[in-house]
Structures are given as structure tokens and as C-alpha cells.
Homo-oligomer: A and B are copies of this chain.
Amino acid sequence: MTQTNPLLTTPIEDGFRMPGEFEPHAGCWMLWPERPDVWRENGRPAQQTFIEVATTIAQFEPVWMGVSSASYATARAQLPAPVELIELDYNDAWMRDNGPTFVVNDAGELRGIDWDFNAWGGLYRDWKADDQLASQVLRLRGYGRYKTHLVMEGGAIDVDGQGTLIATEQSLLDPLRNPGRSRDEVEAVLRAYLNVQKVIWIAEGTHEDETKGHIDNLCCFARPGVVALTWTDDENDPQYPISLAAFEQLSREVDACERPLQVVKIHQPTPMHSTAAEAAGVMDFPGTLPRNENERLAGSYINYYVANGGVIVPQFNDRFDTAALETIQSLFPNRKVVGIYAREILLGGGNIHCITQQQPMGGSQK
């Protein structure tokens, strides 16, 4: 849990920027799911899905997976050899949110940003290890660490790598995360640390998303100038006005390079709810977050991961699954699109994008 001293500068001062997820990666970070008050049956079903995600990504790029000391042997036994296991200390397995956000410069150097983390506004207790995870990873690998006390998770932002960022006010201005901070104050931190010139603020994220507004379940850049957006044609679904507002706003916007944005709708899966058996499998005690049956799950195909030459897309055995794969394939014509049945990740509160964190290649990809 020891930290190295943080850098005394900001990425923008040092010429570092956050690349788009679609730019080349050195590899992908993940964490082994264990937490028995989040993952039903002490994580066993979720572990099988994480194994499938890791195995698939490993076909495209290196995968480094953190694991607790207690679960090292069983994780090692079940994961294929190319997935590297590293003992790390963490509270839960959402590497997108508790991991470092990597930035690169034109000379090919890589550094990481260590945001403050408070478990999505105190949703789960405790979060001490998660808050120190980015620092652990950066120290382990010897990468420079930028530290800022903005409370933020990696899933709360998406960038095009060319100066544009999208985020929601719901998550970044959440009074349980950054009380008293104005939008301008938060935006100034994003500009300085991610080296962006334009921040597009969306009001809110997907309906019933327990992250309270993560952009990465609502919309993301498929490439500069193109944003994929979760959508529903059902005007009675509470998701409808959320997606409609985002669509209308994004369609009016230009990016940091003054390009208008093309918005590509991807119809969401049919609304899903947790079953009694799924809820009962989660350890539930006073002081832990309860899971009840028949809770609406925030299913979205947008929560995919872009790997080198591949895109890993959640599937739900739903009638919209195929259309989502086809649309995403059209957005990434030079990558292999792979669908993975991912309900077990969704039950934990996120999806494939939330459990992965790309480490970009150093160097400019502009």
C-alpha cells in the first residue's frame, strides 16, 4: 500500500494526454471478483465471466489481472497462461473505476493519474484499498503518478484523444463525491489532468445505474467525431428521455477540433431485472449494500471494451444482441467484434468496460 511521491506538475504542463480507448494498447488491466456482498455465490459465477473476458482480450493484447493473496491459487488454476496474475490489494473488481487513468506524451512515455476514490459516493464500505489501487499499480510498474483530489472513477469520463471529453454532471458534480465543487472547478481539473480542450457535459447517465451517472454506460467515442449512444424506442421507458436528451445535445455539439459529432444509436437490451435467486446469492448483512429481487439492471451494449484489433461487447441473450454487434462492427470495421454473455457482471453493477482498463502504448497516436 506504499505510495511513491506524486509528481508536482500536471499532465498538461508536461505534455501528457489521455489517448482514446481505440488507440493502440500495451495491454489491459483487470481484477478478480471476490467480494461476497457484491458478487453472488462468493463470486463464482462472475469469475467465470471474468475468465471469459480476460481470455478473449488476451487474444488481442496482454492482460494483467490483480488478485487477492487468498484467491491467487484458484484464479491461477482457472485462467489461461497468457493472463498474468499480480497480487494486489483492492476492495472490488472494477478496474475502470479504481485503477489509474493512463496518459502518454509524444516521446512515448507513460504516466498515470491517481484520482480520489470513494466508492461511487460511499455506496460500499470500505474503499481504502480501492483508493490506493492506482498508486499500487503505478508504483509496481514504476510509472510516474499524478495525484489530484477530485473524486472520480475512470468510468465517469470518455475522451476522443484529440482534446474532447464527455462526462455527466450527475456523476462528477454528485454532492456525495465532490460536494461544493462547481462545474467550472471540476472542468479545470479535467482539462489539466487529461489535457482536453473541450468538455461536453451531459446531464445524466443511464436509468438506475448504481454508479449514478457514469458516461461509459450511456455513450462513448467510437472514434473522433463519432459517438455511440445507448437508445430505446420505447417512449415509456425511463431511459427514453435520458437517451433522447443526450442524442439531441450531442447532435448539436462540435468537438475540440470544431467537427460536428455523428451520434450512432445502439438499442438497449430489453429491460432486465434481478431474480430472487440472484439476489439471494449475494451476502446481505446490516451495513452492506442490499440486493433485492426485481431490481432494474442498467443493461447497455455501450459498456464494451475496445482492444487492439478487437471489441468485446456484452450480450444478454436478448433480441437486440445481434443488432448491437452489427452496429458496433460497422463502427469498428477493422476489428473483430466478440460478444460475451455478461449478465453476471451486470448483476454486480457494471459491465465489460467497467472491469477493464487499457494501458495505452506510449507515444502519440494522433
List residues of A whose CB falls within 8 A of some B CB: 1-2, 34-37, 41-44, 68-74, 76-78, 87, 89-92, 124-126, 128-130, 283, 285-288
Ordered by A's residue number, 16 sampled pairs between the chains whose C-beta atoms are within 8 Å are A36-B42, A37-B77, A42-B42, A42-B44, A68-B68, A68-B70, A69-B89, A69-B90, A69-B128, A72-B126, A73-B288, A74-B285, A74-B288, A77-B285, A78-B285, A87-B129
User: How many copies make up the complex?
Assistant: 2
- B124 near A35 with CB under 8 A, answer no
CB distance from A70 to the nearest CB of B (A): 4
- B73 near A37 with CB under 8 A, answer yes
Residues of B within 8 A of A91 (CB): 69-70, 72
Knowing that A35-B73, A69-B90 are A-B contacts, what are 14 other residue pairs whose CB atoms are under 8 Å apart, sorted by A's residue number? A35-B71, A36-B70, A36-B74, A42-B44, A68-B69, A69-B89, A70-B91, A72-B125, A73-B125, A73-B285, A76-B125, A76-B287, A77-B286, A89-B89
- A31–B286 CA distance with the chains assembled, in angstroms: 21
- B44 near A74 with CB under 8 A, answer no
- A90–B74 CA distance with the chains assembled, in angstroms: 15
A2-B2, A87-B129 known; A36+B71 contact, CB < 8 A: yes
- A70 near B90 with CB under 8 A, answer yes
Partner of A37 from the list B74, B92, B125 (CB cut-off 8 Å) is: B74
Q: Which 7 A-B pairs have the closest CB atoms?
A: A77-B285, A69-B129, A42-B42, A34-B70, A35-B70, A69-B91, A77-B287
- A77–B125 CA distance with the chains assembled, in angstroms: 11
Residues of B within 8 A of A283 (CB): 74
Residues of B within 8 A of A286 (CB): 77
CB distance from A258 to the nearest CB of B (A): 46
